[in-house]
Structure 1
């Protein structure tokens, strides 16, 4: 089984350090480098299954493992150009461009700066670069094994998770030029044509398309589906008033579950987002809100309305919102990398703009029902495919989700977009440094998932551009 990248680098560093220390218990700086280079001679190196004979051997220095940059680039069939006056290397591998200046602790990957935490070194005229951040910049995986003879084997696999069909190269170019940060997936009839990561997952890690991330208000589709699942089981009716399940809501005898689902209840959107606030406490806060209009008379997007729906799910099912979604939707669909977020679940970081720079955002606090789900692009594709079947809900019920119930064409957690014969449902989300969008062209079966991790992006416009570029690339216009 392939080990996580971080653990593998740690294992490699420890192995090489042990070999170094066995050779000489007390070493100065020069001895460290020399002995480490000798220890590295016992390492068998493979890249994508092909044995590599590097002119310059890896070394370990002050606890960090370094590899010869030029040898690595050649093994990956990339190119390296060296600018002597600035001591800067420009590396091209596939569609990525990496720039690194000697004796610095960062690598520019396309348009972003990746912090390595360790400065590169020049040994006998050869630039040696920290292996972990270099592999990270290239989205590579490493596996370390010990052979029967005691020799260490290092197997490097280049990016195994990204996909780019030649037809969609223009879409990838568009996302790169737009400097989209996050993960993107595009599929036709369920077949993945583009799966890519862009920008930073955190200050030291590049986004890979298999990483977990917050999906913000895309969570609402799981809330709506859970309510409809309970309706199919005969445990509730969408025309039931909210007062049947929750007391004290303003005009609760007039506000139906249908109105909460379709954003026509009149309940204001905002609620307190203090970390650790229970669902019951948020519901109590909503009890004291003043309605914006007569229930059912207009449209107003309301996170609070979906919080009430989550509470209804708990009251009717007897399970927590997280458990109900997990057992009813995520587990049956094999969405193993999805669930309700907590600090214990590692996801990529959200970023916010501060003093004209992007900095990690504080932990994203939401409330059940409105924006608490984390997922991956692959898991979200599983959700997309399930909505073409009767596995979770019947097709008749699913059609209820797509119907426009107001002038804004909002259904149940989906917005309907119709153009001639083209029928598309869409939703977007934002919060805590994340910006997301999910588009499902029901006519041509084109799925587009954009899970971004920078605040403030206009995801509706971005999605429209990606939809248009995808249609053009696939000759659907």
Structure 2
């Protein structure tokens, strides 16, 4: 039930694509083939950050050893090629390490300073941009989307708030079989936002606005178009000016096409016509756009999470609206306005072919967790969740990051 898959609904039939947080992108189909095993992963092979990322230094040696062992064990069991993990705990220190390989062909190690595609964590940025427009009095949370974007089925009854909260009822274009077949056949193809909406609007809404919660990438694409209409700028330019630059997020971009700055790892997926393991590194994520196409790195996400959690780019009243999370049908999990609450953690996960991400923080404690994985070939649950759970069970046992797999919770999103 990973929210973040910019993912295709048929998760088992095809690998996840830029997901959002938990439930979002689950698929239905046959389980993907197990990935080929790369070089052995073990704690001794971990690559530490080039320098301490916290003035308090590293976590105590005992905790570091437990984390190294737990992460290596998860990676070996799940066949994860590489993972970078950042955990910052005020008053205790930091844990910033990379494990495994960036490239299975030459065994090059994954390193903490590499860029990654972050999938549905993108939604946290896009919705922040929308909420800034609310703060400026240019958009109302309860305005109908038809006021800003035309052609939306029932758009006069679907509000900005409902789109951000995943309560619009609009069909998720990443569930459309025609779209999935086209993407699988040519993952380098470029898509315009209106093309994506065309796939969605070929289907009637799944339910009346606000009747229930259901993850849909269509919602966030519409919000991206709203930002462009109201601001008069491209979404990429708006986010750079109003979100990335004010926080010094110099390694975070919404790239055009398949642009992917160096250094970056290869990303492994089974989202291919025959289900074989392939590299998705240079695939074009334009199909995910406002819902999942951002590129970032460990340090920028470490800076982004506290700003997301404390709302420093928003007015307090707007942040309070954002954090009014509603249940999504899974104990301990709720969803607000482009943000999820998971056993106390606030943030989002993300998945798209070849990459998985967690970016989350514990309100009031300053604890920040970032996980980056260069595969979305899930075996026994989302790869990023497997690592996030292992880490939080050790360091924050009272708050464990755990997003159940679809097989555990059922097809909640349908």
Normalised TM-score (structure 1): 0.62
Aligned match of 1:267? 170
Q: Which moved more, 1:351-360 or 1:368-377?
A: 351-360
Q: 1:263 to 1:170 in 2, by over 3 A?
A: same
8 A Cα contact 2:46 2:99, kept in partner: no
8 A Cα contact 1:138 1:159, kept in partner: no
CA distance in 1, matches of 2:212, 2:397: 36
Alignment of 1:361 with 2:280, yes or no, is yes
Aligned match of 1:220? 123
Q: Which moved more, 1:297-306 or 1:389-398?
A: 389-398
1:391, distance to aligned residue in structure 2 (A): 3.9
Normalised TM-score (structure 2): 0.70
Aligned match of 1:323? 237
Aligned match of 1:378? 299
Q: Which moved more, 1:192-201 or 1:326-335?
A: 192-201
Larger radius of gyration: 1
Aligned match of 2:23? none
1:437, distance to aligned residue in structure 2 (A): 1.6
1:108, distance to aligned residue in structure 2 (A): 4.4
1:4-54 Cα shifts (integer Å, max 9, x gaps): xxxxxxxxxxxxxxxxxxxxxxxxxxxxxxxxxxxxxxxxxxxxxxxxxxx
| C-alpha RMSD of the superposition | 2.9
1:162, distance to aligned residue in structure 2 (A): 7.1
Question: What's the secondary structure of 1:447's corresponding residue?
Answer: strand
1:252, distance to aligned residue in structure 2 (A): 0.7
Q: 1:380 to 1:191 in 2, by over 3 A?
A: farther
Aligned match of 2:396? 471
1:149-182 Cα shifts (integer Å, max 9, x gaps): xxxxxxxxx9625775323331222111111522
Alignment of 1:340 with 2:230, yes or no, is no
Aligned match of 1:110? 41
Alignment of 1:277 with 2:191, yes or no, is yes
Counterpart among 247, 266, 274 of residue 349 in structure 1: 266
Q: 1:229 to 1:334 in 2, by over 3 A?
A: same
Aligned match of 2:50? 160
1:361, distance to aligned residue in structure 2 (A): 2.5
Counterpart among 151, 161, 180 of residue 248 in structure 1: 151
1:383, distance to aligned residue in structure 2 (A): 0.8
8 A Cα contact 2:305 2:347, kept in partner: no
Question: What's the secondary structure of 1:370's corresponding residue?
Answer: helix
Counterpart among 58, 67, 73 of residue 171 in structure 1: 67
Question: What's the secondary structure of 2:361's corresponding residue?
Answer: strand
CA distance in 2, matches of 1:216, 1:384: 15
1:331-363 Cα shifts (integer Å, max 9, x gaps): 111111110134333332211259998542261
Alignment of 1:460 with 2:374, yes or no, is no
CA distance in 2, matches of 1:190, 1:327: 33
Alignment of 1:189 with 2:108, yes or no, is no
1:238, distance to aligned residue in structure 2 (A): 1.1
Q: 1:201 to 1:192 in 2, by over 3 A?
A: farther
Question: What's the secondary structure of 2:247's corresponding residue?
Answer: coil
* 1:405-420 pair list within 5 angstroms: 405-408=326-329, 409-418=334-343
8 A Cα contact 2:268 2:377, kept in partner: no
Tell which has more relative contact order, 1 or 2 (C-alpha 8 A, sep 6+). 2
Question: What's the secondary structure of 1:425's corresponding residue?
Answer: strand
Q: 1:191 to 1:384 in 2, by over 3 A?
A: farther
Aligned match of 1:445? 366
CA distance in 1, matches of 2:91, 2:116: 21
Q: Which moved more, 1:366-375 or 1:192-201?
A: 192-201
Q: Which moved more, 1:244-253 or 1:346-355?
A: 346-355
